[in-house]
């Protein structure tokens, strides 16, 4: 089982690259952003709570997202691997994910950190806001709050996986296809090494 975390600031390309990676490798895509937006569109209680926070550019409480991830892992025992997109976003979420996988005898194989400058992030999100219908992409103040939230609570997650020797930094600015090729190269090299250790 090959389990990937695709990590980065809002607008760094997680969703964009995830779509390409799941198509190529047949992994189960787990996007907490998508799961939360689905709760919002179905007008559930959880969605109502998440909507207020997302529209302010804040993170949704850990217990909510951890609960969602737990269900997905429990319901998908036969998959070749998971691609976690936008999760974990706090240290508590990272520790919970490690524990949930360990209980099933699994682990995170690689943690990809997409590196993109703040000015480029804001530019991309505002651009997406023109067509996505996402209210959190339309307002510069909300985008600023999301990036601040990332710097305050999320960026430390990279250190957690760096300590486990799983962190691989990937340049996230430039051509989408080239970034995808770099990710694929890292995955292919690692899976080959696992199959044929030196």
Residue 30 found at the interface with ligand B4P (CB under 6 A): no
Find the shortest distance in angstroms from Cβ 5 to ligand B4P: 11
Nearest to ligand B4P of 27, 65 (CB atom): 65
DSSP assignment of 3-60: -EEEEESTTSSHHHHHHHHHHHH-PEEEEHHHHHHHHHHTT-HHHHHHHHHHHTTPPP
CB 143 within 8 A of CB 12: no
C-beta of 193: minimal distance to ligand B4P in Å? 27
The residue written with tokens 């951890």 in the block is: 66
Interacting span for ligand B4P (CB under 6 A) from 9-17, 70-78, 101-109, 163-171: 9-17
Cα–Cα distance, 128 to 29 (Å, whole number): 21
Say if residues 60 and 50 touch (Cβ distance below 8 Å).
yes
Q: Does 129 bind ligand B4P (CB under 6 A)?
A: no
Specify the stretch interacting with ligand B4P by CB under 6 A; choose among 73-81, 83-91, 96-104, 184-192.
Answer: 83-91
> Which of 59, 97, 110, 170 lies at the binding interface for ligand B4P (CB under 6 A)?
59
CB 180 within 8 A of CB 20: yes
- Where in 165-184 is the site for ligand B4P (CB under 6 A)? 174, 176, 179
User: Which range, of 20-28, 29-37, 163-171, 190-198, touches ligand B4P by CB under 6 A?
Assistant: 29-37
């Amino acid at each position: 089982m090959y389990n990937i975390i695709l990590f980065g600031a809002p607008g760094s390309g997680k969703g964009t690259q995830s779509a390409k990676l799941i198509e190529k490798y047949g992994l189960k895509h787990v996007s907490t952003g998508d799961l939360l937006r689905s709760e919002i569109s179905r007008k559930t209680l959880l969605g109502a709570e998440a909507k207020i926070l997302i529209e302010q550019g804040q993170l949704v409480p850990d217990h909510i997202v951890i609960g969602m991830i737990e269900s997905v892992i429990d319901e998908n025992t036969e998959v070749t691997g998971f691609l976690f997109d936008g999760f974990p976003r706090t240290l508590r979420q990272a520790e919970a994910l490690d524990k949930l996988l360990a209980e099933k005898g699994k682990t995170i194989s690689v943690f990809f950190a997409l590196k993109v400058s703040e000015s480029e992030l804001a530019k991309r999100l505002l651009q997406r806001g023109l067509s996505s219908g996402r209210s959190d992409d339309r307002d510069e103040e909300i985008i600023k709050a999301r990036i601040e939230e990332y710097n305050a609570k999320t960026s430390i997650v990279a250190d957690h996986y760096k300590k486990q020797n799983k962190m691989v930094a990937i340049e996230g600015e430039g051509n989408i296809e080239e970034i995808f090729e770099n990710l694929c190269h890292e995955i292919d090299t690692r899976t080959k090494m696992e199959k044929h250790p030196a």
